[in-house]
Amino acid sequence: MSSPQQPDSQASAPFNIPTVGLILRTSDNVAFHVRAGILAESSPVFYDMFALSTQISTDESHGAKGASDTSPSSPTSSSPAAVPEVPENSNTLDALLRICYPISNPTFCDLDVMKPVLAAAHKYQMGFVLETLGIRLVELARDVPLRVYAIAIRYDMDDVARTAARQFLRHDWNPAGGHPAELDDISGSAYHRLLAYRRKCADALASMCTGLGWLPNTGWTFMQCDSCPPGAPAPYCWLRDCEVGRKPAGWFWQYYQGLAARLQNTPCEDALDDVLLVTEPVKKARDCSTCGTKAFEQMLRFMLKMKEEVGRTVSEITLEIR
């Protein structure tokens, strides 16, 4: 029987040490000299793969496995004959191995580069690698939450999926505007659950904004001013721990309902980050001698309280994964 064909090129360090006794050949014909013990401990799939071809040695320092056996399936120190072929390309395998080895992890700036590494880690059941990649996915979810959500659902990364769903609330979403390719890899029900989560968050915030029962009664001028006309469509509002209801000032209620509408499009506290959301009501309140002098300070304080309440309300909504 002839020996296996040698790959055309060698991987970069540290996967180019010829004395290491096992070679993995990638789909683009690059040879990776690897320590079987590291991969066997990282992946039960690799462990089984190696066990089928040769007994894993406890000492690879000389690159020898089964030195007494010179058959092609059992590599020797002078000629490592076991060359398992893997379907991944060299870029994917290099990133995968670097996370397994005690060296610096690769940096993933592009989700498209990361996806095949995730697929390989999932296939080889590398739990630690998936956890490491999950940390990076959480970081990327801020900018591309829908893509990260779909990837997390596909690979059963529930915590990442929940984080991505929360980040998804920060973005306007128009289903008619198309969808990322990653959604094709998950079921329609998984996508529906994400949209249902978003709808529940928006509904909870809409309910919150029907009144001011969440706001502590700490001397808000817009609830006490007799100079401003009350908002015509405003209901009587009771503040938290307050037994007497009053109609808020018209300028404030109009402002508050604008915030409520904004939260329907972006149902999370980040929707309230725009500095104009403070300056606009201040302009409207300046015609009132009572509200005008205190409006800026009170709107800053009100916005902080409202962001806290929006965050608390949304945090009580749970995404159903399955």
* pTM score, whole prediction: 0.81
Sign of CA dihedral 49, 55, 60, 63: negative
The answer to whether the CB of 127 falls within 8 A of the CB of 99 is no
Largest CA distance in the chain: 99
Predicted confidence (pLDDT) per residue in 171-207, tens digit = 988 777 778 999 999 999 999 999 999 999 999 999 9
**Lowest-confidence region among 34-48, 65-79, 89-103, 234-248:** 65-79
Q: What distance lies between CA 189 and its chain's CA centroid? A: 20
- The winner for highest mean pLDDT among 3-12, 36-45, 184-193 is 184-193
Is residue 182 within 8 Å of 147, Cβ to Cβ? yes
Please name every residue paired with 216 in a beta bridge, in sequence order, or none if there are none: 240
Give me the percent of the chain exceeding a pLDDT of 90.
Answer: 57
Q: What is the dihedral of CA 185, 188, 193, 195, to 10 degrees?
A: 90
pLDDT 10s digits, 216-251: 998 899 888 877 766 556 778 899 888 888 888 888
Token pair 């509408």 is found at: 261
Sign of CA dihedral 18, 75, 86, 161: negative
More confident position, 150 or 82: 150
CA-angle at 314, arms to 308 and 316, nearest 5°: 105
Beta strand pairing status for 30-34 and 9-10?
Answer: parallel
Is the pLDDT at 76 greater than 50? The verdict is no
Residues 20, 64: Cα–Cα separation, whole Å: 8
Higher pLDDT, 1 or 275: 275
